[in-house]
Amino acid sequence: MSQRKVLVLHGPNLNLLGTRQPEIYGHETLVDIDSALRAQAAANGWELTCRQSNHEGELIDAIQAARLDGTAAIIINPAAYTHTSVAILDALNAFEGTVIEVHLSNVHRRESFRHHSYVSLRADAVIAGLGSQGYRAALEAVMASA
């Protein structure tokens, strides 16, 4: 059964937000982003879990767990795995809820290897280039469509 429950997944190197190429990724830390999302979810009666991992298998484990625990939606920034990971795509294909793919930067204005996303083959929506606001827009959309 799908509940008012959302999982936010951040891929590799996003733990460095705030200090990692701030001209591209902004000055907010991942803690800042996650706490704003938690507050936004709580204000609407939703349960929100945030996970970051630099390891592909850990992201897959989290997606698999979400299949079984009633999670209604996954908001995922797969970071560099966006462009390489068939395994994350396969895991998301086995998840029945809503999937929203988020990128802080506009990947289409960057190097050509960032233009292709495996995850977009599954995502119900993709938000790129809005910075951290992209996560909050994704959460708002998830909660509005429930």
Tell me which stretch binds ligand DQA (CB under 6 A): 53-61, 77-85, 88-96, 119-127.
77-85
| Contacts (Cβ under 8 Å, ≥6 apart) of 145 | 98
What's the sign of the alpha-carbon dihedral 51, 14, 29, 99? Answer: negative
- Please say if 81 is a catalytic residue: no
Q: Does residue 10 interact with ligand DQA by CB under 6 A?
A: no
- Please say if 118 is a catalytic residue: no
Q: Which lies closer to ligand DQA via its Cβ, residue 57 or residue 70? A: 57
Catalytic residue among 10, 103, 118, 135: 103
Q: Does residue 71 interact with ligand DQA by CB under 6 A?
A: no
Burial group, residue 67, by CB count within 10 angstroms (0-12, 13-18, 19+): middle
Tell me how many degrees the CA angle 140-145-146 measures, rounded to the nearest 5: 105
Catalytic residue among 25, 81, 118, 135: 25
Q: Does residue 82 interact with ligand DQA by CB under 6 A?
A: yes
Q: Shortest distance, CB of residue 1 to ligand DQA, whole angstroms?
A: 31
Beta bridge partners of residue 8, listed in sequence order: 50, 75
